[in-house]
Amino acid sequence: MPTLIPANTKAVVFDAYGTLFDVHSAVARHAAQVGPEATRLSEIWRAKQLEYSWVLSLAGRYESFWSLTEKALDFAFARCSTADYSVRPLLLDAYRGLDAYPEVRITLQALRSRGLRTAILSNGDPAMLSASVSAADLGSVLDAVLSVDAAKIFKTSPDAYQLALEELSLNVDEIVFVSSNRWDVAGAAVFGFTPVWVNRLGMPDEYTDIPPHAVIDTLYGLVQ
């Protein structure tokens, strides 16, 4: 059993976007067609996608994450005047099959070989997640793929994290939750999960009064 993971752990649950899948890979595939503002477009797209999920949750409303993804992309295009809008359908198609980070499959296999269950708990809607998992060929190394769509509210609502307990029939202290999003790590910690932050980009810490159990720079840190 890896020392980073507590001995009583029975499942490791992963966020999807930014943790298993590279959210900027969609624009990266078509960067030449998007134009010189490709990086800026991708950053705005991701930021607004998340902002919309938080605003709707606080307002007591819900839309599918795919709908928010489309609206966020349109906003990003409106902000990036030189970006070629004709690429929009290609970007949305690419988002359904985002690149998985290179260590994802190996890490999931290693965790399962040690008797741990593996799952995704994501803001993505079921169709989005199914497409991404299939494109990355991860179905055989995941025990469950959970969408907050079942709760009709986005993370960091406790109702979203509760889905993992119900689906896996586990206690909160039996789950390690892994995310590259520091806000998600904070939400998981408050809920009671053992949270691990994948700080791929070496970002400064936030929510310092709600610390992670551990910080790693890639998922390999879970199994080393």
Q: Which residues of the chain have pLDDT under 50?
A: 1-2
Task: State the Cα angle at 81 between 80 and 84, rounded to 5°.
Answer: 90
pLDDT value, residue 224: 84
Query: What are the tens digits of pLDDT across the range 93-131?
Result: 999 999 999 999 999 999 999 999 999 999 999 999 999
Overall pTM surpassing 0.85 (yes/no): yes
d(CA 54, CA 142): 27
Q: Which residues contact 63 (CB under 8 A, 6 or more apart)?
A: 52, 56
Q: Please say if 15 is a catalytic residue.
A: yes
DSSP secondary-structure letter at 1?
Answer: -
Q: Which residues contact 31 (CB under 8 A, 6 or more apart)?
A: 38, 39
Q: In what order do the strands lie in the sheet with 144-147?
A: 144-147, 117-122, 11-14, 175-179, 194-198, 214-216
Active-site residue (options: 15, 22, 99, 149): 15
pLDDT value, residue 1: 43
